[in-house]
Amino acid sequence: MSAAIEVHGITKRFGDFTAVDGISFSVEEGEIFGLLGPNGAGKSTLIRMLTTLLKPTSGSATVGGHDVATEADAVRRTIGVIPQALTSDLDLTVEENLLIFAKLYGVPRDERGPIIDRLLGAVELKQWADKPVKFLSGGMRRRVEIARGLVHRPRVLFLDEPTTGLDPVSRTAVWAMLRRIKAEHDLTMLLTTHYMDEADRLCDRVAIVDHGHLLALDSPIHLKAAIPGESTLEASFSNAPPDWRKRLERLPAVESVTGGPAARDPAAGESGGQAGAPRTGVGESSGAAGARGTGATDGVGGRPGVYRIASDDGPKTTTALMAEAARTGVGVLSLGVQTTTLDDVFVHFAGRELRDELQDPSPAERRVIVRRG
C-alpha cells in the first residue's frame, strides 16, 4: 500500500520567522492522521502547503502521488479541504453551497444532484437542504463544510481544526460522522487539532508539532506508553521549603517532577502557590477537562506553583506525598491523580503545557511556565 501523503523535510519561512522547520512524515492510505500542537505551532502553515495554498520554502511533499509544488492542479483534484474558519455562504441554502462547489470542482452536470443528495444524507442535513445556512447551528454548519469538501469525491481530506468552537455534543457528533464517512468513502484524513482528546479518540496516528518542529509521531497508545510514569499527580502547596522539589523526587515510584514555582525567585514561587489556592482541585479539574475536551474553557490560566509528578504507582506516591507534607508542615492546596493522557505526552515532548500556551501566549506568562529538562 502506497502512502497517501509524503512529506520530506518541508520548510516554510516568512522573512526571518521559520513557521515550519524541516518536517518529514508520511500518511498511509485510509489513515486518520492528526497534527497536534498549540496555536502558532505551524500546523496551519503545514496544511496550507499540503493543500497548495502556500509554496514550501524548501523540501517537498506529495499528496496522492502528486507533487504539491509542481502538480498543484492534480493535487487540488485529489484533495478535499475543510478550512478552519466557517466559510459557507450564510445567505445561500445548504444545497446551493454544495452546488457552487460542485461547479467549481467541475463535477459533471448529471452527477451533481445524486452526489449532493448522498452527501447531505451522510452528514444528516437532508431535511435542511433548502434552508439558508444562517439558520443552522455551528455544528450543522461544520457538517455543511464537510459535505462541501467531499463534493468532488476526493481521496484525501484535510481538516483544519474541525471541531474548534463547537460544543461537546456537536464535537462528538462530528467525530462519529468523520469516522463513518472515512469508512464509506475510503478516505485518508489529515486533521489538525489542539484538543488532546480529539487526537486521542479520532486519530490512528498523531504527530506532535511545536515551534515548527515535529516532536513525536506515533499512535496515541504508543505515545502514552513512551513517556515515564503510568499516572500523573498534579499538586500545589503552601509553605513549601526550598528543597521541596528534591523531596518530591525522592518519594516512592516517582519518575520525574516538573512544574512547581519559578526557581529564580522564591517569593514568586510562594505567591504562585498561594495564587493557586482559590482554584481548588486544580489538578482534577484540568485532568478531567482534558479528558472531556473542554480544555480551552476550563479557566485554568498560567498555573504557577502546580507540580506535575510522573509516577509508576499513583496511589503509593499519593499516600507518601500526604505523609511527607504532614511531616514537614507543608499545606496541600490541591491534589489530583490521573492516568497518563496526551496532555502529559505533550508536556513531556514540548516541555510545557498546551493549554497554558493557548490561553495566554504572552511572553511574560510563558517565562513562569516553561521549565525545560
Partner 1 sequence: MERALAIVERDLRRFRRSPTLIVVSLVFPIVQLVVLGYAFGGKPRHLKVGLVDQDGRVPAVQLAALGNAIAANAETFTFVPFDDQGRAVTALRNGRVNGVLTIPPGFSRRLLRGENPRVALIEDNTDNFVSGALASTFTGMVSAYGRPGVGAARTAGVGRVAGGAARMNAVPTLDIVEVYPYVPYIQYLLPGSIVMSIFMMVMIGGGIIFIDDKARGLHEGYLVTPITRFELILGFNVAGALKAILAGTVLMFIGSLIAGVPHPFDPMRLMRLFLVISLSSVALVSMMFLFMVRMEDPLVPRAIFGVLNTLLFFPSGAVYPQSAFPAWMRGLAVADPFTYVVHALKALLLKNTGFAAITGDLIFLTVFSAVTMTLATFLFKREL
Residues of this chain that interact with partner 1 (CB under 8 A) are: 48, 51-55, 73, 76-77, 79, 81, 83-85, 87, 89, 91-92, 96, 100-101, 103-106, 132, 148
CB of 103 to partner 1, least distance (A): 4
CB of 245 to partner 1, least distance (A): 46
By C-beta, is 148 or 194 nearer to partner 1? 148
Three-state DSSP class for residue 6: strand
DSSP code per residue over 229-249: -SEEEEEEEES--TTHHHHHH
By C-beta, is 83 or 220 nearer to partner 1? 83
CB of 152 to partner 1, least distance (A): 8
Amino acid symbol at 302: G
By C-beta, is 65 or 132 nearer to partner 1? 132
HSE on the CB side for 343, CA within 13 Å? 28
> Which residue reads 502512502 in cell numbers?
3
CB of 45 to partner 1, least distance (A): 10
CB of 14 to partner 1, least distance (A): 11
By C-beta, is 134 or 180 nearer to partner 1? 134
Phi-psi region for residue 79, left (φ > 0), alpha (ψ -120 to 50) or beta?
Answer: beta
CB of 11 to partner 1, least distance (A): 16
By C-beta, is 91 or 186 nearer to partner 1? 91
DSSP secondary structure letter of residue 64: T
201 grid coordinates: 479518540
Cβ 301 vs Cβ 314: under 8 Å:
no
CB of 135 to partner 1, least distance (A): 12
For residue 84, what are the CA distances in angstroms to 127, 160, 255, 359? Answer: 25, 5, 39, 18
Rg (CA), the chain: 23
Terminal C-alpha separation, the chain? 40
Whole-angstrom Cα distance, residue 358 to residue 290? 13
Whole-angstrom Cα distance, residue 276 to residue 263? 17
> Which residue reads 523535510 in cell numbers?
9
By C-beta, is 75 or 206 nearer to partner 1? 75
By C-beta, is 78 or 311 nearer to partner 1? 78
